[in-house]
Every structure is written in structure tokens, then in C-alpha cells.
Amino acid sequence: MKKPGRGLEIIEVRERQSKLISRLCDFMRQLLPKYYNDLIEKEQINYITFFIHCKAIQNAIKENIFRYCYILKNNKDAGFIKYVIEKDHIYLSQIHIAKRYQKKGIGRFAIEHLKNIALKNGLKLIVSYILTYDTKTQEIFIKLGFKKGAMYTKYIGDKHLFWEDEFRLAISDDPKEANALNEMELDKFKTKPIHSRPYWANGKVITYDDEKF
Ligand SMILES: CC(C)(COP(=O)(O)OP(=O)(O)OC[C@H]1O[C@@H](n2cnc3c(N)ncnc32)[C@H](O)[C@@H]1OP(=O)(O)O)[C@@H](O)C(=O)NCCC(=O)NCCS
């Protein structure tokens, strides 16, 4: 297991930190299309990028729809995580590490950070969704300790559909308990994703509605 070394910072972005939000926003706008390029249609990428703007990030933080952690390495943009603390789990919406910083243990470090947040909030589960055809990232998530579960359709608004698989990571201070919890989770969610959560899309909050499909 690689250790990310010195100079690594994870900053929880606050609503009033306009300059940091603006920097994060620029970073996300250049990072996300690169990731999605081989995975989804150009039209979908444009659609997603269109909604990445400072006001949306600021509102998401303010309304507690999403939280953002900025990951810096020697003050250079290295990555970010976007997540939200739900009633009984943490939903990890996105984790992105810039290409030149990948495979250096930073992703694992970010997940450890999230685990600590979960434990502090009395939560024992992190849930995330990875594109079904992104097998490489799915493999990395398994290496990070996540279990793969049900396939899931996510509605991001305006006719754009993503097929994703649900990934769950059970957390405990005690590794034995974490293993047992992971097994239990796996049984529970093989057929049905956890759901249901609102999304920030199309400039407003959209609630996923099973019946649309
Ligand atoms: C997925 C991602 C966050 C992982 O971050 P990272 O900093 O590269 O991961 P780490 O260096 O901490 O590695 C974690 C584990 O995965 C393995 N790994 C990392 N990249 C890998 C690759 N390309 N192929 C195979 N294994 C890989 C590491 O060896 C490590 O396993 P180990 O501890 O058993 O050796 C990063 O690759 C990324 O941002 N990808 C693009 C965006 C993305 O897919 N996000 C997820 C969907 S939102």
C-alpha cells in the first residue's frame, strides 16, 4: 500500500470560501470531462459540465445537499471528493484524483478521511456508485475495500441516464466487525440499491423517482 507522503492536505470547503470554491470549480470543470471522455457521450459530458459552476457548489454546501473536500498536494490541485452525510450512511458522490497524482495512495487517503468523518458521525457505511462500464475504477473500489452490489439507474435530468453499480463500504474501528458488516451489507443489497436521494441537476434539486423507469 502506497503512502501519499508529505504536503497532502484535505480541505473541507465552506460556503463562504468563494475563492476556494472558484478554484475548485475550475479544477472540476477540467478534470471531469477527461474522466468521462471514454465513458459517456459528448452530449452528456457537456450537460454535466454545464451545471458545474460556483453558485451551484455554494448552494449545495449551504443547503447541505453536498459537501466538498479539496485535496491539495504541495498546494497543487490533486483531487476532490464530493459527499453528503445521510441519516444512516455517507453517500460518496464523486472522488477524483488528477491523473498525475493517481496510484500514489491519495485515493485511499481520501477514503480513510471519509471513514473518519463517518465514525465521528456514528455512521458505519459509505455508499457510492460507479459507471457500469468503468470496470477499471470498479476494480480500484474493490481494492479500496468496497463491495459491489446492485445495478442502479441514476437520473440526472433532461433525458440523461447513467447505468451504475452500487458500492458499499462498511466501517468499524474493529477490522473483524468491519468484515462481518461488509458481508451482511453484501447480502442485503445484492438486489436493491439503497436509495433514494435528491440530485442537484438542471439548476434545481431533483428527486429520483423509481416510477419514471
Ligand atoms: C479511483 C481513484 C479515485 C483512485 O485514486 P488513486 O489515488 O489513484 O488510488 P490509490 O493510489 O489510493 O490506490 C488504491 C488502490 O487501487 C490500486 N490502483 C490504483 N489505480 C489503479 C489502476 N489504474 N489499476 C489497477 N489498480 C489501481 C492501487 O494499487 C491501490 O491498491 P493497493 O493498496 O491494494 O495497492 C482515481 O483513480 C481516480 O480519480 N480515477 C478517475 C475518477 C474516478 O474513476 N472516480 C470514481 C468515480 S466518481
Q: How far is the centre of ligand 1, averaged over its atoms, from the C-alpha of 102 (Å)?
A: 6
pLDDT in tens, 146-192: 988 776 666 666 666 677 888 989 988 787 877 777 776 666 655 45
Per-residue confidence (pLDDT) for residue 63, from 0 to 100 = 93
pLDDT in tens, 8-67: 999 999 999 999 999 999 999 999 999 998 888 888 888 888 889 999 999 999 999 999
Q: How far is the centre of ligand 1, averaged over its atoms, from the C-alpha of 196 (Å)?
A: 27
Q: How far is the centre of ligand 1, averaged over its atoms, from the C-alpha of 108 (Å)?
A: 8
Q: Please state the atom number of ligand 1 nearest to the C-alpha of residue 96.
A: 39
Rounded to an integer, the average pLDDT of 67-88 is 96
Banded pLDDT at 210 (limits 50, 70, 90): very low
**Whole-structure pTM value:** 0.87
Cis peptide before 196 (omega within 30 of 0): yes
Please give the Cα distance from 46 to 41 (Å, whole number): 9
Q: Backbone dihedral region of 8: left (phi > 0), alpha (psi from -120 to 50 degrees) or beta? A: beta
pLDDT in tens, 97-112: 999 999 999 999 999 9
Cβ count near 196 (within 10 Å): 9
| Residue minimizing CA distance to atom 37 of ligand 1 | 102
Rounded to an integer, the average pLDDT of 70-94 is 95
| Residue minimizing CA distance to atom 16 of ligand 1 | 140
Domain boundary assignment for the chain: 8-212
Rounded to an integer, the average pLDDT of 194-208 is 45
148's CB contacts (< 8 A; 6+ apart) are 138, 141, 142, 165, 166, 167
Per-residue confidence (pLDDT) for residue 213, from 0 to 100 = 32
Per-residue confidence (pLDDT) for residue 6, from 0 to 100 = 86
Q: Confirm if 55 and 63 have CB atoms less than 8 A apart.
A: no
Quick check: CB of 103 below 6 Å from ligand 1? yes
Per-residue confidence (pLDDT) for residue 201, from 0 to 100 = 41
Quick check: CB of 131 below 6 Å from ligand 1? no
Quick check: CB of 28 below 6 Å from ligand 1? no
pLDDT in tens, 107-147: 999 999 999 999 999 999 999 999 888 999 999 999 999 98
Rounded to an integer, the average pLDDT of 69-96 is 95
CATH superfamily of 8-212: Gcn5-related N-acetyltransferase (GNAT) (3.40.630.30)
Quick check: CB of 124 below 6 Å from ligand 1? no
